[in-house]
Chains A and B, each alone.
Chain A
Amino acid sequence: MMLLPFETVVRTHGRTVLRVCLSVAGADDADDAWSETFLSAMDAYPKLPNDANVEAWLVTIARRKAIDVVRARGRKPITVERLPEEPSTLGIPGALDDERAAAETVARAVSALPGRQRQAVTYHYLGGLPYQEVADIIGGTTDAARRAAADGIRALRRTMGARP
């Protein structure tokens, strides 16, 4: 499997990235966050492993860029209200390369999850979308989305050997 042309990545995941940007940064800053996300992704793209989970990778970048854009304006990211209550073991380290490497490791583990768990974890934990919006995308109820994400995180803890 070779890397797809970046155009395909933008076309395939542009909407999801916009959703994450809207959810985290709000309508005023979503466009800037979207641009920053794809610029940063395009820069790093040639070094992305061929088997990477591109959606999880992008969603992770989108959430970080959305927070950056909002902070640069001196506002509080909207996402603060929506962070999961438990501390996440998927924390993103500070250094850029470490951050990318960690994002890729997580993305690979996430891509091994069954469909709905994978999407729920990607959109909620990596993208910062509230469960209601996750349910809008993947279908079903908000509670079902929450359960799928919880099951996914439990499976990830097992496969990644993370501390509880």
Chain B
Amino acid sequence: MTDDTALHLDELHARLEQRAQDAGLLDVAYRTVDSPVGELLLATTERGIVRIAFQREGFDEVLQTLSAKVSPRVLRSPALLDDAATELDEYFEGKRRGFDLPLDFSLSHGFRRAVQGILPTIAYGSTASYAQVAAAAGSPRAMRAVGSACATNPLPLVVPCHRVLRTDGSLGGYAGGLEAKSTLLHLEAAA
């Protein structure tokens, strides 16, 4: 078929996004955005942002997981993520120190969910050790579990797991790669 058909299908897709949302069928909307740490995938439910993913995690896999764990009614629908995209842009430009986005933690449970709830208390530009976060979570010896909670954080950047380092100050791990973690820490230190 022709390019005209491709354009026509894009128009039909845009109309479907609107109608699916009006009908309450759009369970998971997503889009991608460019950033200094590579392309990011943003996904939202009716409740709030449910997933932010780095390209190296594999967007197809991330979407498949959302389909299995949240709902298969997943549609690319950029308009619903305009606010999130804008706030992230401002953050990467050094103009924003915190996020005002509704969050949906339905991909996290138990201790991990508790740890991810504590991470936003680590202020912009500062860092904490895995041990300190474990202590703040009320389980001072659960450093390893804190590490897992950071590694499985479904909402990186917005839930700032990049601000958690090893006790000796070394980077530890990061779903977006160590280079991304270091980029974010430098960005926050410079702003």
Contact = CB atoms under 8 A, between A and B. Distances in A.
Question: Is the contact region of chain B dominated by helix, strand, or loop, or is it mixed?
Answer: helix
A39 B9 contact: no
Given A2-B64, A39-B23, A34 B74 contact: no
B75 A7 contact: yes
A42 B12 contact: no
Interface stretch (B65-73, B84-92, B123-131): B65-73
Contacts of B170: none
Interface string B1-27: 100010011001101100110010100
Nearest to B18: A35
B25 A7 contact: no
Interface string A71-91: 000000000000000000000
B64 A10 contact: no
Interface string A24-53: 000000010011001100110110000000
Range for the number of chain A residues in contact with chain B: 20 to 34
Given A6-B75, A15-B5, A39 B16 contact: yes
Interface of B: 1, 5, 8-9, 12-13, 15-16, 19-20, 23, 25, 28, 30, 63-64, 66-68, 71-76
